[in-house]
Amino acid sequence: MTFGPERTATDLVRSIRSGETTAARAVDGALGWIRRIQETGLNAFLSVREREAREEAEEVDRRLADGEDLPLAGVPVAVKDNISVSGGRTTCGSRLLEPYIAPYDATAVVRLRDAGAVVVGKTNLDEFAMGSSTENSAFGPTRNPHDLDRVPGGSSGGSTAAVASGCVPLALGSETGGSVRQPAALCGVVGIKPTYGRVSRYGLVAFGSSFDQIGPVAHTVEDAARLLSVIAGPDPHDATSIPEPAGDYASGLEEWDPKGARIGWPTEYFGEEGLDPAVRSACEAARHAFGSAGAEVVEVSLPHARYGIAVYYIVAIAEASSNLARYDGVRYGYRAPGQEDLISMYLKTRAAFGDEVKRRIMLGTYVLSAGYYEAYYGRGTAVRGRIAGDFEAAWEEVDAILSPTTPTPAFPIGEKVDDPLAMYLNDVYTVSANLAGIPAISLPWGSKDHLPIGVQLMGPRRSEGALLKAARFLEREAPPRPTPRIRAEEAVP
Ligand code: GLN
């Protein structure tokens, strides 16, 4: 076996570089797993780049033979279907982009290729990344590899299910309000939301432009750090990208000394109604792991955190309503047939958006409308500033903040899909990091009834290096992870 469920990218790269296996075999293995896993109804992938991936893997083997230094040599990677990969579909889980073929690679994808990784497929997502369960896709829901009757979380549920089920060791997701961390927690994998601007947004289809970030999904903190090191860094194509170069986040990961570290415990987060006691205990155990290793655990207050959901669902949808105006049937993508005139063509075309997207376009347009702009959008952005200010004050006292990633483990498919407010509450612990632009990591810690639980670490802007080290420490201390019921191994006939 060249490649399988427990295999990390770090390990795979080592065997490919040492000649024990090849990129071509690794990619062939991944394509085989994907085919079989798809038969289980997991629905993690929307398209598979079978022929292209095989050709690209051979090219990687040639580059290795030429002595090129490729940090992700031959690693099969899955990419969320709102990130452009040239020549293939980028549907965003929407009928509106079903016929669209991406004419260029996202910067993150260019960097993956340069590093020797091979994109094997595009993963399912909530339509335009709007959702917390991957049930809002026009192409059917993705299921959770730990329990096929439950959601994988969202909106990057395809990417986290692809990694958790062992199809690929690495995947890219995207974050606007928690869409990497939340499904990572529900699928039992590691997910990172980088500092706003750390990873270029070029080629990521816009949702909320002042929030959006591409983020890594992996089995381990080390793998996630390697992937982040490859995709991060300044990009002339994205005016909001941070101009300083990114670091090598994978080096020195084991060196973190808990003694002298100050870990924040946000009291407000643990007063939330709806926090599952098992998730609370997981956080308490992680807190204890820090404390007993000599870290100082300090209670911190984030007084405006309680407004996070309300503010996020005003400001992000305002930006979304503006960004989604481009899907008009004229420029690119889907156009409804049988139009009589321009207006009816617009109306029929845009009727093809799903319910959640329509809800946000309408609400977003409303909060930006004359007369309501100040009351909603203006207020929302002001409170966003307060939320960021809470974190700034906390960094005076602590280096990182420990919290739940989600209030509960994975919930059953269909349970919240007709109740948008219940769905939005899944993001209660994740949206603050997006509102403040700070980095955050979710990593698996314990389980409830065989379902994984995630704990979250948040840090100051650009603190990815330190945050990953603290996460690596926690990962070493973590209880064993539950084994997914559906994973590549079991799918082998
Ligand atoms: N669940 C949140 C939403 O629906 C976050 C989505 C995201 O991060 N892309 O907006």
Pocket test for ligand 1, best of 82, 172, 179 (most atoms within 8 A of CB): 179
pLDDT for the residue numbered 487 = 75
* Ligand 1-lining residues (CB < 6 angstroms): 129-132, 155, 175-179, 207, 316, 427
* Stated pTM of the model: 0.97
- Residue 445 carries which side chain, given as an amino acid letter? W
Residue 80 designated active-site: yes
pLDDT for the residue numbered 338 = 83
Portion of the chain with pLDDT greater than 70, in percent: 98
CA distance 246 to 300: 29
Chain-centre distance for alpha carbon 447: 20
| Domain boundaries, given as residue ranges, for the chain | 9-254+477-491
Q: Is the pLDDT of residue 468 over 70?
A: yes
Q: Is the pLDDT of residue 292 over 60?
A: yes
Atom of ligand 1 nearest to the CA of 178: 8
130 C-alpha to ligand 1 centroid (Å): 5
Query: Which residues share a beta bridge with 263?
Result: 297, 400
Look up the CATH architecture of domain 9-254+477-491.
Answer: Alpha-Beta Complex (3.90)
Pocket test for ligand 1, best of 125, 155, 182, 430 (most atoms within 8 A of CB): 155
Residue 179 designated active-site: yes
- Beta-strand pair 118-123/451-458: unpaired
Atom of ligand 1 nearest to the CA of 176: 8
For 361-419, the pLDDT digits (tens) are 999 999 999 999 999 999 999 999 999 999 999 999 999 999 999 999 999 999 999 99
Residue of the CA atom closest to atom 5 of ligand 1: 177
Q: Is the pLDDT of residue 493 over 50?
A: no
State phi, psi for 96 to the nearest 5 degrees. -65, -25
Average pLDDT of the chain to the nearest whole number: 96
Tokens of 368: 């930006």
pLDDT for the residue numbered 2 = 54
Q: Is the pLDDT of residue 6 over 80?
A: no
Q: Is the pLDDT of residue 479 over 70?
A: yes
pLDDT for the residue numbered 252 = 95
For 165-174, the pLDDT digits (tens) are 999 999 999 9
Active site residue: 137, 179, 321, 442, which one? Answer: 179
